[in-house]
Amino acid sequence: MSKDFLILKNVYKRYSDDIIPINNISISFKMSKFYVIKGASGAGKSTFLHVLGLLEKVDEGEIIWCENDITKLNGDKVSEYRKKKIGFMPQSGLLIPEFTALENVMIPILLNKDIKEAEKLACDLLEKVGVYNRRNHFIKQLSGGEQQRVAIARAMANNPECIIADEPTGNLDEDNERKIFELFKQYTLSGKCVICVSHSDKAEEYADEVLHYKKGEIIL
């Protein structure tokens, strides 16, 4: 039984009195597991992922990562976490259109390696996600599925402990959806964790655990 590596304790996040995207959530995540979060639009799933990805701060509660309280971390320390431990895949990928697929994947790798090594690693990752042959194409020249796969490759670039993906298969056909979930599943088999928000029913087939998000709360 793997150990809990990410623990949230009584976490609150409020935008206003009526809008409370995270309402007293306490939950723990384990390594080697593929979590799928489902829920209606506007329930607060994305905010929840942003909090997990340390992109937003919580109003109350604690976030513990491998026994370290990271709730109050600031600036460079947060960047350090994102660099080494978290691979964040935002909604619709957020790839830089001026860059090629390869260059997009190289961006996070450049933080740790030099350009040549980064290029080599990025090529390996693109091969893994099946878009190696499109590596020199600009983002606009790629299909939606290919873009998502490039985004996944970028999220996996620094071999993070946890990949957080926000609707990675939105607007994709079934085939591409399956390919992406398969990639996530494979990633968890290497002892890492994937937390993914998805509306797709296919996600449930691959998920180790499905969490239902409703009005800022998680229903197990």
Partner 1 sequence: MSFDKVWFIIKRNILKNKFNSILNIILYVIIFNMLLVSVGVLGFFANYSEASQRYNRNFRTMMVYENDESDEKDIVSLFSGYEYVEMVINQNEYCMHMSFVDDKGNYDIDLKACNEKNVPEVIYGRQINFDNNDEILLPEKMLLYNNYTEEYDIIEAKNLIGTSIKCSKENFDYNTIYDEVENKIVSGRKDIGQTIIDFEVVGVYDSALYFEESYVGYISEKMSKILHASDIKDKSGYTYETIWVLSDTVENYNKLKQIAEENSLDYMVVTDIYERVKLFCIVGYIIIVGIFIFHFIVSSVLFKIETKKDRFIHNVLNICGYRHKEICKIVSAKYFILQFLSFWISIPISIVLLNKINFIFYSSEHMGGLVVGITPLAIFVCLILFIGKIIWVYYKYYVMTGKYTISKISDKKRKK
Q: Where on the chain is the footprint of partner 1 (CB under 8 A)? A: 46, 50, 53, 55, 75-76, 79-84, 86, 88, 90-92, 94-99, 103, 106-108, 110-111, 114-115, 154, 157-158
Q: Which residue has the tokens 């197990």?
A: 220
Q: Which is nearer to partner 1, 93 or 216 (CB)?
A: 93
State which residue, 18 or 75, has the beta carbon closest to partner 1.
75
How far apart (Å, rounded) are the C-alpha atoms in residues 107 and 150?
12
The residue (of 103 and 177) whose beta carbon lies closer to partner 1 is 103
Distance of closest approach, residue 35 Cβ to partner 1, in angstroms: 20
8-12, long-range: CB < 8 A, 24+ apart: 8/52, 8/61, 8/62, 8/63, 8/64, 9/61, 9/62, 9/63, 9/64, 10/60, 10/61, 10/62, 11/51, 11/58, 11/60, 11/61, 11/62, 11/63, 12/58, 12/59, 12/60, 12/61
Q: Which is nearer to partner 1, 70 or 107 (CB)?
A: 107
CB of 166 or CB of 177, closer to partner 1: 166
Q: How many CB atoms lie within 10 A of CB 6?
A: 22
Rounded least distance, CB 118 to partner 1, Å: 9
Shortest Å distance, C-beta 111 to partner 1? 6
CA–CA gap between residue 26 and residue 84 (Å, rounded):
24
Kindly tell me which of 80 and 127 has the beta carbon lying closer to partner 1. Answer: 80
Give the pair of three-digit tokens for residue 93.
């990928």
3-state SS, residue 210: strand
- Give the contacts of 79 (CB within 8 A, at least 6 positions apart): none
Burial class (CB in 10 A: 0-12, 13-18, 19+), 1: exposed
Tokens of 163: 């990949």
Minimum distance, C-beta of residue 141 to partner 1, in the bound complex (Å): 13
Minimum separation from the CB atom of position 135 to partner 1 (A):
15
Residue 158 Cβ vs partner 1, minimum distance, rounded to whole Å: 7
